[in-house]
Amino acid sequence: MKNLSAPIFAIDFEGSKRIGVVEYGVAEIFGAKIARLYTRICAPKASITRKDADFFGISNSEAKKNPPFEADINLFCALRKRGIFASHNCQVEDSLLRAEAPSPGLVPKIPGNGGAMSKDWRPWIDTCALAKNIYPGITSAKLSDLIKIFGLQKDLDALAAKFCPEGRQKWHCAPYDALAAASILIKICTQEGFENVSFEWLVKYSSGASDSQKLLF
């Protein structure tokens, strides 16, 4: 990742359109390493159902102790000004982010891309699409399956022990899933033959045939 002069922020949200973001995790990647993790639980827009509470591991009483996600929108705008966002199946994170703030303000379209500017959260680097496009023979592009396929479980658990809050070191917890997406991206970008990847290349191979990101170029 030596050609990437700005950080990549691997993002995961727990939530839905109805209840909004109830937890976020953002793993900051720079120099093929995870430099920092931003994360917290957020108050929901509507009551969390029992099913969702069990899935996320977040109760209404716990979530309502915290400010809503909108309180941290300025943080996400600041991160987007510094670098580019990544996610595993980015349509989910992009949709939830846009529901709170349609635009991050004026930001670099792609870091270092001739100074071109944009008012869009996109383009995203999508680790799910990357894996499918680069390794078409993989049996599953599910986040947990890719961690196993790439042999990253031990490393991921070590990162979780270092960065994740207590009790949030497992699947379907935003900080853990963000670290997983970051680990996959680093693995891809440090494979032999991929050392010189650019932001443009990563965005290109993060797109599917019907991906709206292509409209940005």
Q: What is the pLDDT of residues 10-26, one digit of tens each?
A: 999 999 999 999 999 99
Percent of the chain whose pLDDT exceeds 70: 95
Tell me the two tokens of residue 5: 């002069």
* 3 belongs to a structural domain: no
Q: What is the pLDDT of residue 216?
A: 43
CA dist 122 and 118 (Å) reads: 9
Residue 161 is part of a domain; what is its CATH number? 3.30.420.10
Helices (H) and strands (E) in the chain, counts: 9, 7
Q: What pTM value is reported for the model?
A: 0.94
Q: What is the pLDDT of residue 115?
A: 82
* 145 belongs to a structural domain: yes
**For range 184-198, the mean pLDDT:** 92
* 202 belongs to a structural domain: yes
Number of domains in the chain: 1
- On the question of pLDDT at 58 being above 90, the answer is yes
Give the pLDDT confidence of 122-134 residue by residue, as tens digits: 999 999 999 999 9
Tell me the two tokens of residue 31: 């120099």
DSSP assigned state of 68 = B
**For range 167-187, the mean pLDDT:** 98
Q: What is the pLDDT of residue 17?
A: 95
Percent of the chain whose pLDDT exceeds 90: 89
At 84, is the secondary structure helix, strand, or coil? strand
* 2 belongs to a structural domain: no
Contact 137, 130 (CB under 8 A): no
Query: Who contacts 3 (Cβ-Cβ below 8 Å, separation ≥6)?
Result: 196, 197, 198
Q: Which domain holds residue 189?
A: 8-211
Q: Work out the mean pLDDT of the chain and round it to a whole number.
A: 94
* 1 belongs to a structural domain: no
Q: What is the pLDDT of residue 114?
A: 76
Q: What is the pLDDT of residue 213?
A: 52
Q: What is the pLDDT of residue 215?
A: 44
Q: What is the pLDDT of residue 2?
A: 78
* 67 belongs to a structural domain: yes
